[in-house]
Amino acid sequence: MTEQAKESEVIDPEVMPPETHLELSKPSVPVTIEELSGLPDERGVEIVESRKKILDSLRKASILMTSPSDWLLFRTREGAVTAFLQDSGCKRIWQIWGISITPTGEFQKLVDDNTKDFAYRCTADGDCKVTGLKVYDIEGIRYSTEDFCKDVKPDLKKEMFVKLAAVANRDGNIIRSLTGMKSVALEYIEDVWKGTNKKTSLCSKGKGYGTQAERQGAQVQEAAHVPAGQEPICEICQARAKFWPAGISRDSKKPYGAFWACPSREHKWSVRDEDFQKTRIAAEKDQAQQEAAAAVARGE
Ligand SMILES: [Zn+2]
């Protein structure tokens, strides 16, 4: 690793020495592939790497500042879990990204004439000094019928509650899009929280999570939902392995976990589903990181 790549791990780019090439490694400086490839030796690659590192440091520092209750988990039918940073968490992290928010237009009050239920809507522009990203006219909206204010009295107080919640929602939408915290892979958060007392099992659960029994049932099903063509391969005959759900051994009466085995059982080749899933997740993460690096190189 070069001296400059090490320097770039600091969170505040302001403290980095103002050298020309280092300047390019700030995420706020747009660079094109042409500009990068025009640099001598491996400098282009180094710059991409250090830009990626700055963003990664910021994301990690942000996630460390959040609590499990700040995150809402979503799960696809295939079992992939992503986390959404709720407005409460956005309030904790915006400062380290140098985000400023400028309201645009007036508050709008929308009223249902029949029920007198109402909503407040507002918009703002957002600017992230660290990355140079900007977003425009981002909306926030909250309703008087939502749980957080359903029983608030008197009406004037309720008005204030809904109005403030709309602002928090607008700011949350801005902060999430500027920091990439709309959809974070659960494994990434687990990685960052390793060694702390924060546990992703304490995160709030949203769409895709049923009752506990349904969740356990779904876990058994999940492994069977590995996309066709991505099953593990028998190391002996290269055939695609067959999935066997968890169960209880007929002979020993002991429970066993789900596993994959060669369809021709003569080979006696098998892999525990848990181990196979870990390798898969690691491979997906690698790919995601490569894509992120490519996106940074394109100046996105
Ligand atoms: Zn085989």
CA dist 167 and 93 (Å) reads: 16
Residue 242 CA to ligand 1 center (angstroms) comes to 10
Residue 259 CA to ligand 1 center (angstroms) comes to 14
Residue 258 CA to ligand 1 center (angstroms) comes to 18
Q: In the chain, which ranges are E strands?
A: 71-75, 81-85, 99-111, 118-128, 134-143, 184-185, 204-205, 242-244, 247-248, 255-256, 259-261, 270-272
Span(s) in the chain for CATH 3.30.390.80 = 69-185
Residue 256 CA to ligand 1 center (angstroms) comes to 21
The pLDDT tens digits of the residues spanning 123-181 come to 999 998 888 888 999 999 998 888 888 888 888 899 999 999 999 999 999 999 999 99
The pLDDT tens digits of the residues spanning 50-80 come to 778 888 899 999 999 999 999 988 877 777 8
| Cβ-contact 72, 204 below 8 angstroms | yes
Residue 91 CA to ligand 1 center (angstroms) comes to 54
Q: Which two tokens stand for residue 35?
A: 């500009």
Mean pLDDT score, 232-250:
82
The topology (CATH level 3) of 69-185 is Enolase-like; domain 1 (3.30.390)
pTM exceeds 0.85: no
Residue 245 CA to ligand 1 center (angstroms) comes to 19
| Cβ-contact 101, 171 below 8 angstroms | yes
Residue 254 CA to ligand 1 center (angstroms) comes to 26
* Structure confidence at residue 49 as a pLDDT band (50, 70, 90): confident
Residue 275 CA to ligand 1 center (angstroms) comes to 18
Residue 240 CA to ligand 1 center (angstroms) comes to 8
Q: Is the dihedral of CA 29, 32, 38, 44 positive or negative?
A: positive
Residue 261 CA to ligand 1 center (angstroms) comes to 8
Residue 226 CA to ligand 1 center (angstroms) comes to 19
Residue 218 CA to ligand 1 center (angstroms) comes to 28
Residue 278 CA to ligand 1 center (angstroms) comes to 22
**DSSP labels for 233-289?**
B-TTT-PBPEEE--EE-TTT--EE--EEE-SSGGG--EEEHHHHHHHHHHHHHHHHH
Residue 271 CA to ligand 1 center (angstroms) comes to 12
Residue 260 CA to ligand 1 center (angstroms) comes to 11
- Predicted local distance difference test score (pLDDT) of residue 173: 93
